[in-house]
């Protein structure tokens, strides 16, 4: 099993479990994502329809964690001769995903098209990550 496969298997953080308990596995406030590796790049695609990515989305990487934050405000009105109906849907959404060690924050890019946010993070060379150095033990 490669280091990358181990990383995918060990991705559930305690915070992720807690958030899912309160929101449900596919709760209405969750951002649905799919993750895949394309060559040597981790690709995260997030479902964010009906938002303005320039105003309503923040993508950050802090301490090896990718955070996608979005805010949605929708208003629909139905005016009829004898009635008026208005509905609002709004809320803040966040999804945090741990990144493999060695991913460089400055190399992460994001794009938005047709309601899907795509974040691309180049993965470090596996030989660089896998190399370990022995630590000498001194006797005192």
77-108: b or e for each residue (b if 16 or more CB lie within 10 Å)?
A: eeeeeeeeeeeeeeeebebbbbbbeebeeeeb
State how far the Cα of 22 lies from the Cα of 113, in Å rounded to an integer. Answer: 30
State how far the Cα of 93 lies from the Cα of 72, in Å rounded to an integer. Answer: 8
What per-residue confidence (pLDDT) applies to 91?
Answer: 81
The residue with greater pLDDT, 61 or 75, is 61
> Tokens in use for 135?
């630590």
What per-residue confidence (pLDDT) applies to 136?
Answer: 76
pLDDT in tens, 21-59: 554 444 445 789 999 999 999 999 999 988 889 999 999
State how far the Cα of 93 lies from the Cα of 61, in Å rounded to an integer. Answer: 16
130 has pLDDT over 90: no
What's the domain range around 12?
Answer: 3-124
pTM of the full predicted structure?
0.65
What per-residue confidence (pLDDT) applies to 96?
Answer: 93
For residue 36, the tally of other CB atoms under 10 A from its CB is 9
CATH of the domain at 34: 2.60.40.790
**Domain count along the chain:** 1
């Amino acid at each position: 099993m490669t280091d990358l496969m181990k990383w995918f298997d060990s991705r559930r953080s305690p915070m992720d479990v807690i958030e899912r308990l309160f929101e449900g596995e596919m709760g209405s406030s969750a951002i649905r994502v799919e993750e895949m590796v394309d060559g040597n790049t981790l690709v995260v695609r997030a479902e964010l329809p009906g938002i303005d990515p320039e105003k309503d989305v923040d993508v950050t990487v802090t301490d090896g964690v990718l955070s996608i934050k979005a805010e949605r405000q929708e208003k629909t009105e139905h005016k009829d001769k004898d009635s008026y109906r208005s509905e609002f849907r709004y809320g803040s959404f966040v999804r945090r995903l741990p990144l493999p060690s060695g991913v460089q924050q400055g190399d992460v890019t994001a794009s938005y098209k047709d309601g899907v946010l795509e974040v691309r993070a180049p993965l470090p060379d596996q030989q660089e990550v896998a190399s370990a150095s022995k630590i000498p033990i001194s006797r005192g």
